[in-house]
């Protein structure tokens, strides 16, 4: 994020502890609205990504990175940035539902401990920490989060856990992280156990199990284990949009970690309305408000072929690139990230503004020869 480099000093001055300001009101019915902060003012999204997008009551944030003298200071500053985006969108840190953090090799446990120390103790989001580089070699960590605006009559977010899984339910979605209870038993068994835990957690939240699964990222110790995850999904009859990448995991014995989103029904126990579209570009899974696309593989380092696949998927689902609210990119080579920035600007800033929020990581996908995999979510326009 080249513009972010220029703004690092501004972040350090603007993002500091202090009394919580009065929160703005942004309608939970809006499909796509850009969020701005003092250090990412209106108009910045014309040349870079949107630092935050509000869509149907959820706040999709761009990844934040900082560099300080200590891991603790870096974590604190990154979460100040997250706080600024959340507050600009009418949410607080207690409203975070999901965060993904990248950590250096061998440091996931330490990084998790640091983030947990700075997140609200009684209101923690689903926190996934995996070992992979971010978009710049000089930034050891980055964090991207989703928050849910407080909803009238909904009360506090529901936080649920069972063996191997933790999730946060808000505004009809459950964000969950799950791992098998038998690390070292092999990718298939671990995936089976993780999916069983997710299904149980969905039921605990009032859903009907895995039928409402919308999206999953499979973080794998070996990319070749993607086939085992797909076999486990087929056996469970779950059909989420899937993205699979190779990373380092906190538990060295572990092969699979799942980070997923499920739709919850309006009435407990009933299956939610989920629509699956298959095309040559992969799978799109839609709820009543969002469309989750399976990871789009690209050979071009600027990602334009991945964006074309995404466009086909969205068109088949009744949406366009205009509707994309967030993307996470996994690039094979960190040094090629500026190529991706150029492709993103051409497709989104120039062709389909306003652009989504975004985060870049460095990881190998299940397509070893591919330069990038794009994992995106779009909003369904009101009908």
Model confidence over 243-289: pLDDT tens digits?
Answer: 999 999 999 999 999 999 999 987 776 677 899 999 999 999 999 99
Residue 14 inside a domain? The answer is no
Give CA 279 to chain center in angstroms.
23
Question: 3-class DSSP state for residue 276?
Answer: strand
CA nearest to 245, candidates 259, 231, 235, 232:
259
Cα angle 222-196-297, degrees, rounded to a multiple of 5: 40
CB 204 within 8 A of CB 159: no
pLDDT at 192 over 90: yes
Q: Which of 67-81, 197-211, 267-281, 342-356 has the lowest mean pLDDT?
A: 267-281
- Give me the pLDDT at residue 225, please: 98
Q: How far apart are CA 151 and CA 355, in angstroms?
A: 26
Same domain, 332 and 294: yes
- Give me the pLDDT at residue 220, please: 99
Same domain, 130 and 186: no
Rounded to an integer, the average pLDDT of 57-84 is: 97
- Give me the pLDDT at residue 382, please: 82
Residue 252 inside a domain? The answer is yes
Same domain, 55 and 89: yes
Number of domains comprising the chain: 3
Q: Which of 272, 301, 316 is the last residue of a domain?
A: 272
Say which DSSP state 289 is in. S
Rounded to an integer, the average pLDDT of 333-358 is: 98
Helix (H) or strand (E) holding 244: strand 241-246
Average pLDDT over all residues of the chain: 93
Show the domain range for 293.
289-382
CB within 8 Å of 102: residues ≥ 6 apart:
129, 130, 131, 132, 133, 134, 141, 142, 361
Q: What is the largest CA-CA distance in the chain?
A: 52
Same domain, 115 and 165: no
pTM of the model: 0.94
Split at pLDDT 50, 70, 90, the class of 157 is confident
Same domain, 209 and 314: no
Split at pLDDT 50, 70, 90, the class of 73 is very high
CB within 8 Å of 36: residues ≥ 6 apart:
42, 44, 45, 51, 52, 88
Residue 343 inside a domain? The answer is yes
Q: Is the dihedral of CA 329, 332, 334, 336 positive or negative?
A: negative
pLDDT at 133 over 90: yes
């Amino acid at each position: 994020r080249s513009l972010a480099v220029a703004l690092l000093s501004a972040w350090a001055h603007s993002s500091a502890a202090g009394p919580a300001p009065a929160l703005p009101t942004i309608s939970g019915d809006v499909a796509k609205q850009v969020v701005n902060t003092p250090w990412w003012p209106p108009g910045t999204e014309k040349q870079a990504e949107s630092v935050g997008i509000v869509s149907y009551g959820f706040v999709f944030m761009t990844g934040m990175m900082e560099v300080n003298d200590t891991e603790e200071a870096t974590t604190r500053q990154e979460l100040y940035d997250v706080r600024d985006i959340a507050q600009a969108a009418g949410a607080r840190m207690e409203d975070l539902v999901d965060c993904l953090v990248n950590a250096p090799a061998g440091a996931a446990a330490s990084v998790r401990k640091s983030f947990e120390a700075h997140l609200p103790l009684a209101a923690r989001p689903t926190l996934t920490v995996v070992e992979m580089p971010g978009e710049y070699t000089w930034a050891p960590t980055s964090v991207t989060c989703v928050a849910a605006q407080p909803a009238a009559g909904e009360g506090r977010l529901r936080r649920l856990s069972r063996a191997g899984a933790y999730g946060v339910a808000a505004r009809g979605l459950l964000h969950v992280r799950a791992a098998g209870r038998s690390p070292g038993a092999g990718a298939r068994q671990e995936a089976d156990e993780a999916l069983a835990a997710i299904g149980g957690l969905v039921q605990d939240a009032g859903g009907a199990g895995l039928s409402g699964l919308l999206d999953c990222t499979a973080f794998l110790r070996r990319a070749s284990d993607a086939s085992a995850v797909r076999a486990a999904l087929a056996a469970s009859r779950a059909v989420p949009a899937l993205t699979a990448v190779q990373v380092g995991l906190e538990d060295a014995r572990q092969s699979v970690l799942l980070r997923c989103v499920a739709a919850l029904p309006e009435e407990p126990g009933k299956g939610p309305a989920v629509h699956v579209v298959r095309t040559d570009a992969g799978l799109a899974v839609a709820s009543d408000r969002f469309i989750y696309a399976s990871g789009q593989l690209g050979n071009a380092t600027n990602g334009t072929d991945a964006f074309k696949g995404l466009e086909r998927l969205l068109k088949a689902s009744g949406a366009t690139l205009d509707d994309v609210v967030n993307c996470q990119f996994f690039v094979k080579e960190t040094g090629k990230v500026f190529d991706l920035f150029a492709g993103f600007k051409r497709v989104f800033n120039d062709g389909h503004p306003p652009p989504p929020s975004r985060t870049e990581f460095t990881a190998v996908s299940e397509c070893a020869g591919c330069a990038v995999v794009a994992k995106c979510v779009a909003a369904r326009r009101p009908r």
